[in-house]
Structure 1
């Protein structure tokens, strides 16, 4: 295996390993990597258009794997999974060619997104997002690889490890197109230290790291390569057809093949077990994830599958939806990716959007709900409070996710969770107290509504003249430029964080009380403040809309 690296500074960017292009253009330089740290320019690709509260369909229809269930105003039941689409990100472009997102890794305050170019052109990239502010992800740096696709990214101990395929016509020092390597990272920013190494195969589809080893899956004449993480020396290699993905478990390695299913190995590449699966479409993107001793599989046209890695038994499966609207081609409905977020599983189903599922006590899969994203979901990664979804146009959707089990009850009470209709009406003489998390379509308050936890409301919120709404925790409302307006005629008590994607009308007699210290409010829409409005307390107005 070869390595190559050199670097130089040019035009405000770091350009590494300059050499000549193919014989078609022998006089032109072909940089191996171009690093852009102009955060102000990069941030222009991050858009608020279309953002706001989104609601998962957890109705009976939304929990049927055979049905396509959009999240609409008619969804009768509330649910405990607050979601906010907080950003849409256009893909990077190089010489007029747009890339598409292929892989995401999230580590600490940063998210790293890999890109490639579909078709015959070798072209890839990596974007770095600062996600320290869960409400405001920032695109702070980017690396473009003009002659190398990026299939997978993984951050580990100050380096961003990458895998992909490089154009041998542009660099004959490699023995095969499949490559792995790293870019050194400092405070989330690529520094310019960059190396690539070749492995057998046409493309290195995925990587995993454990025990100072780099595990590499390569498809088409490739296999599983085990490399020393420090030296990149090869320690073991197992030939295998059409490998799509690799994941590290507690005491084993698992790889996914499009032709042979799942194979598990020891850390030294000794065979443990073969798990047969139906043959998949050749050379398409799929992945696997693990949860304890179980493997979660994006099984293409076979939906989501769940296997016991010790016995090889398939214990759970969620089929793809078949009851599709007329404007969706069944060929575009396919499970491309899966992600485990501490026992909650997400699946990207192409034109059918997302599934949320979890394992049951007997290790089957329970479908909790579905989410339509008005586009094709081609890859998914969920970690902590984030869901990153690669969409059909090449860009990203970034979703804020609140896990019910992690909602903090700061009120010191034992109020029940809200489990009623997605349209919550508080009648006169009603005094309702709830805690936990709730995702709603609309709320109408005529008396007292006290909520401790996390609440999202998608379409309508009215606090009428005798109404009192207390929120202690987090609250989000509306759609950005989506014709949603929160009406306040009564009293709104706030302790925590509030985000209003739509407009806010503070009508005569309205009162906003910010309790304690540390509360914040973010309003992206228009604020109308009429005469006789009172705002009390200390708070941070991030967009300066309440002056």
Structure 2
């Protein structure tokens, strides 16, 4: 049965079927319960692509003329890797659909685009901030996994099963509650079948988990301990669900926003939003009492969740085709908006959302999630991009004495000039000329080259990320004769480090580190002092 064609009887069934993969009911041994787990980290590591890793820029196309070419930002970003999508047992490439995060683990769900059904789950370890690891992966035959969320040591999965191939399955829409072991996937899970063609989104609190289904769908509440459906309320064309305080918020493509009590599912408030095309995945997120909603071809809508009034509309520049707002995520004062072929826009939150620019990443952006220091971007069949926000360290008290950098995208210190800056800085390049002293306290990213000319000094306190991963881009950090790079913190060089005769590097303290992904090129006598961790063993 095709995903977009379902018999009316499947949309009007009022059956709740629940099965455990260890019981003996008629749904056992069906492929929907066939989870194939791969824990071979060597094999899984082949799916991690670092060729596009390195510092990425934010481009603000709303700024024109000379200022557009010279603008810097206070939002340094590094793409630390890309996870290529899994291939199922039939050799078909899947597509990322959703991301959930708990601690150092990111959980990614996958679907099969088109009429076929096939799903997967990846678990990515980001405990090493610049080296993500794919630690386990599971293929789920004949089942799309559309969404997922972490819940008290379990993974709640929403999706759709192929009822043509799984003939004993009563309905396509499913919810799977999978037990985790130290955060990793297991083959212990319970499946609930809900009346509808697809479960579009899931959410959870301490005692319950919730699911929404599309078409003539419903909001379902399930007991976390008994795994049974406790209640439901019908609502057509549900796309997304979010929990906020003691409330459940649902988004319908045709019926707008509805707000319910978590305990009773009683409707408390509803308000209309822009109508959307049928069947498209959309998300929403909260910024305090503001509700940000991806509204497809209408762009992003910002609403007061208490009154329902619309506060702001951010339209798509050129709506149509693949130019569409698919998803939104809010984290630590920033909003990230996935606009399909137009890329990922970044906004500073506040009274109004203010555009910082568009991330310089390749491919269409279909989904975005941000948690902690990371942004996770699903890019069609291109996989999942993992981007790290380089946040300023708060451990250097004297940093507050320095001003914020605002001198343009290309930092140049003239001979014998002395400058000190703090905070978060993102620039295109930096040159410190003879005798000049540059101090930066916080976090700084440099998209292209960094050059310290003869007799200059760069005091780096905090974090420095520079360049692009080779071989796609030959960026360099160059230290010339009698120039000194002082490091108190962490330095990541994605390209090459060129140490010319007389170059000096000094590490301060006991916890400083340097990571070099390219080559180290030494010419003549080079002096390296202090205690440091060389993560790639390149300086020896």
Is this a same-fold pair by TM over 0.5?
Answer: yes
What's the counterpart of residue 85 of structure 1? 79
Structure 1 segment 96-495 matched on structure 2, within 5 A: 96-267=91-262, 268-322=264-318, 330-361=320-351, 364-403=352-391, 408-411=395-398, 413-446=400-433, 447-481=436-470, 482-489=473-480, 490-495=483-488
1:40–1:18 Cα change, 3 Å: farther
Q: Distance in 1 between matches of 2:399 and 2:361?
A: 37
Structure 2, unpaired ranges of 5+: 1-15
- Would the aligned equivalents of 1:99 and 1:394 in 2 still touch at CA under 8 Å? no
Q: Distance in 2 between matches of 1:45 and 1:528?
A: 30
Q: Secondary structure at the match of 1:19?
A: coil
Alignment coverage as a number of residue pairs? 514
Which deviations, in whole Å up to 9, do the C-alpha atoms of 1:342-361 show, x marking residues without a partner?
33211111111111123333
Which deviations, in whole Å up to 9, do the C-alpha atoms of 1:251-282 show, x marking residues without a partner?
31111111112111122221122221222111
- Would the aligned equivalents of 1:250 and 1:292 in 2 still touch at CA under 8 Å? no
| Correspondence 1:19 to 2:21 | no
- Would the aligned equivalents of 1:46 and 1:139 in 2 still touch at CA under 8 Å? yes
- Would the aligned equivalents of 2:56 and 2:360 in 1 still touch at CA under 8 Å? no
Q: CA deviation at 1:245?
A: 0.3
| Correspondence 1:41 to 2:43 | yes
Q: CA deviation at 1:18?
A: 6.9
Q: Distance in 1 between matches of 2:397 and 2:488?
A: 10
Q: In terms of mean alpha carbon deviation, does 186-195 or 164-173 score higher?
A: 164-173
Q: Distance in 1 between matches of 2:456 and 2:28?
A: 67
1:61–1:526 Cα change, 3 Å: same
What's the counterpart of residue 24 of structure 1? none
Q: Distance in 2 between matches of 1:528 and 1:7?
A: 59
Structure 1, unpaired ranges of 5+: 9-16, 22-29, 63-68, 323-328
What's the counterpart of residue 535 of structure 1? 528
- Would the aligned equivalents of 2:464 and 2:492 in 1 still touch at CA under 8 Å? yes
State the TM-score, normalizing by the size of structure 1: 0.90
Q: CA deviation at 1:58?
A: 4.5
Q: Secondary structure at the match of 2:42?
A: helix
1:467–1:310 Cα change, 3 Å: same
- Would the aligned equivalents of 1:290 and 1:296 in 2 still touch at CA under 8 Å? yes
Q: Distance in 2 between matches of 1:238 and 1:20?
A: 29
Q: In terms of mean alpha carbon deviation, does 52-61 or 128-137 score higher?
A: 52-61
What's the counterpart of residue 13 of structure 1? none
1:360–1:518 Cα change, 3 Å: closer
State the TM-score, normalizing by the size of structure 2: 0.91
- Would the aligned equivalents of 1:73 and 1:441 in 2 still touch at CA under 8 Å? no
The one of 75, 87, 99 equivalent to 2:69 is 75
Q: CA deviation at 1:116?
A: 0.6
1:519–1:162 Cα change, 3 Å: same
- Would the aligned equivalents of 2:390 and 2:444 in 1 still touch at CA under 8 Å? no
Q: Distance in 1 between matches of 2:226 and 2:158?
A: 16
Q: CA deviation at 1:412?
A: 5.3
- Would the aligned equivalents of 1:407 and 1:436 in 2 still touch at CA under 8 Å? no
Which deviations, in whole Å up to 9, do the C-alpha atoms of 1:345-401 show, x marking residues without a partner?
11111111111123333xx32222222322100000011110000002241111011
Q: CA deviation at 1:483?
A: 1.3
Q: Secondary structure at the match of 1:75?
A: helix
Q: CA deviation at 1:40?
A: 1.3
Q: CA deviation at 1:91?
A: 0.2
Q: CA deviation at 1:463?
A: 0.1
